[in-house]
Amino acid sequence: MNAHTPEVPWPRLRRLGVGLAIAATTALGVWTMFRILYVEGISPLEMAIIGLFAITFGWITMAFWSALIGFVLNLTGRDPLSLKPRHSYPMRPEGSHSRTALVMPIHNEDVLRVAAGLEATCKDLDDLPQGIEVEAFVLSDSTDDEVVAEEKAAMAELQKRLEGHCQLHYRHRDSNVGRKAGNLGDFCTRWGSHYDYMLVIDADSLMSGTTVIELIDEMMANPRLGLLQTVPIPVRQDSLFGRANQFAAALYSPMLASGLSFWHATAANYFGHNAIIRVDAFTDACGLPELPGKPPLGGDILSHDFVEAALLRRAGWQVRMRTDLGGSFEEMPSHILDYAKRDRRWVQGNLQHMRLLGGRGLHVLSRLHFFFGALAYLSSLVWLAILVISTIDALIRALVPTNFFTSSSQLFPDWPIAPPNLIMPLLIGTLGMLLMPKVLGLVLGLIQNPQAYGGRARLVASMLLETLFAMLIAPLMMVFHSRFVIQVLSGRTVAWDPQSREGRALPWKEAFRHTWLWSLIGALWALVTWAFTPSFFIWLTPVWLGLVMAAPLVRWSSSLSIGRALRRAGLLLVPSETRPPAVVGELRVAEAPPPPATPAEPPREVPREMPVQSFREHGTESAPEVSGEKPVD
């Protein structure tokens, strides 16, 4: 391996250390909760609360320790894998050569936005180093005839505009078999032999030329590297909801990703886009099977990215994450309802992963990725269950008279024993761990790059605004996710349609139509607890308030005028606005579709097989041996 390629010292020791820290912190929190509830015995309801609390507290603990590790690494400028100071230099061997396909799978997308984003990315690739070749490939499996006709015209025009910059190919397949994974598999089996790597981008992705080159460079330097994932940051958001999420991602995501990368090491995850993949490795190891049974938990594997990362790792390839590259961007839904619709699709895909936990030959971290991906949505149902059970327990205590004499022959009463004074420490500790990632991200921003967020005062104000907004919408997202999980587990499936990313202010009627039930439940919840247990009503305020205000939150957070007013006030600013990269600044979406035209034919096909993998059996195949290299941990 090239001397410049970062190695990963002590991967098992890292995972052991982080695992022990998470386990010890979780055990302390669960024991504290047990001591609070165990006064004169413990009821079945309280046992249920403790079990559910253990799940949610463990989830919070993992995020806390990952954020703390990422904070230290970013503050000291250390690479999360090598633990050495970060440097930027060519790593590929001298005289080496590679060909990379910049592949964009699309399905009934906004054609003009697709063409604009791809053009901006390709034109940022003008100064490629010697030995690196890049071509673009648009892989369409759109099913709408009008969209397909518009795609062909737009790609024909784009091929002309990119002459001298980047060669562009367009392919439309008539079926949507296998969805996005099948689309990429079709590319690999027909044209993959022409390329060493494929850099997968989504219809809303943007990547700077510098980032593309660095990804290719690292792949060329490390012959055991199968997949290298970047941290895509949302851009071009105008609504309050979009800008709050954009700000949170810009400030916190690189730090959190560094912490995760520290202990994931060479068994990182794949987000499905903005990542570079070794074509031979992907073709040989990532043919996805259908899951037995009917949808939603059977059939096509919907969230294919986690599974492909696991299969690459099982085959002996490294799967890494680059957390220091700033030129990887994406767009996102601009309001809560579209965001929830996207999550509904992911809920179904991620719950499928629970069926793969026992797959043969998988790395332990791949199993954890499957479990945590499902838990990200299951935790909402767990949280809701804790709140409901706690409410029932509080009402029982308030409505059932206390019996101080449990025996007819008893001379002295059984006076109630006060619980240990642990409630406030547990509450403060839990809130502290929940908020610590935000506080640590803020500290990094204040130290390293405050002007990119509008200055220190505006950065602090923006962080407080984003935190308040996140707290208010959390109960609504909780009930959305809980409902989605119940729907999937009860057998209801969903269509995976293209995402809506264009900003629009929702009308009040639509906001009320999707939230009136949750607002009614929140109001009744508040009234009942206020009437019978006022102290519990106060503790429950963040939950019922977010539900009661659901419609106004959905309506106001979709507002483009509010979002733009905040930008003018210097709030929720992000580096892509204060110092826009060229690839973002050059994005220009055409206002009218081009005239009908036919794009040039794609290159000559070189057919190859993509074997379907099995999770019930696994052989001894692995990545090719590299002279003098240690086995992948």
Q: Which range is least confidently modeled, 109-113, 173-177, 240-244, 247-251? A: 173-177
Domains of the chain: residue spans and CATH? 98-339 (3.90.550.10)
Q: Residue 506, Cβ neighbours under 10 Å: how many?
A: 24
Residue type, 71: F
Q: What percent of the chain has pLDDT over 90?
A: 80
Exposed/middle/buried for 567, CB within 10 Å: 0-12, 13-18, 19+?
Answer: middle
Instruction: For residue 394, name the pLDDT band (cuts at 50, 70, 90).
Output: confident
CA dist 46 and 52 (Å) reads 10
Q: Is the pLDDT of residue 507 over 60?
A: yes
Work out whether the CA dihedral 296, 298, 300, 303 comes out positive or negative. positive
**Beta-bridge partner residues of 275:** 200, 229
208 vs 212: CA distance, rounded Å: 6
Q: Rounded mean pLDDT of the chain?
A: 91
pTM of the model: 0.93
Tell me how far apart the alpha carbons of residues 212 and 325 are, in angstroms, rounded to a whole number.
Answer: 10
What is the pLDDT confidence band of residue 420, given thresholds at 50, 70 and 90? low
Q: Taking 50 as the threshold, does the pLDDT of residue 415 lie above it?
A: no
DSSP state of 402: P
Locate tokens 């997202």: which residue? 477
Beta strands, E only, 141-294: 167-172, 197-200, 206-207, 225-229, 233-234, 275-278
Tens digits of per-residue pLDDT, 552-584?
Answer: 999 999 999 999 999 999 999 999 999 999 999
pLDDT tens-place string over residues 43-78: 888 898 899 999 999 999 999 999 999 999 999 999
For residue 274, give the 3-state DSSP assignment.
Answer: coil
User: How far does Cα 526 stand from its chain's mean position?
Assistant: 33
Which pLDDT score is estimated for 181?
Answer: 95
What's the sign of the alpha-carbon dihedral 261, 266, 272, 275?
A: positive
Using the predicted structure, report yes or no on whether residue 417 has a pLDDT greater than 70: no
Does the pLDDT value for residue 172 go beyond 70?
yes
Reply yes or no: is the peptide bond before residue 296 cis, omega within 30 of 0: yes
Q: How confident is the model at residue 6 (pLDDT cuts 50, 70, 90)?
A: low
Q: Is the pLDDT of residue 134 over 60?
A: yes
Residue 3 confidence class, pLDDT cut points 50, 70, 90: very low
Which residues, including other chains, have CB under 8 Å from residue 457's CB and lie 6 or more apart? none
Q: β-strand 197-200 against 275-278: which pairing, if any? A: antiparallel
Residue type, 474: A
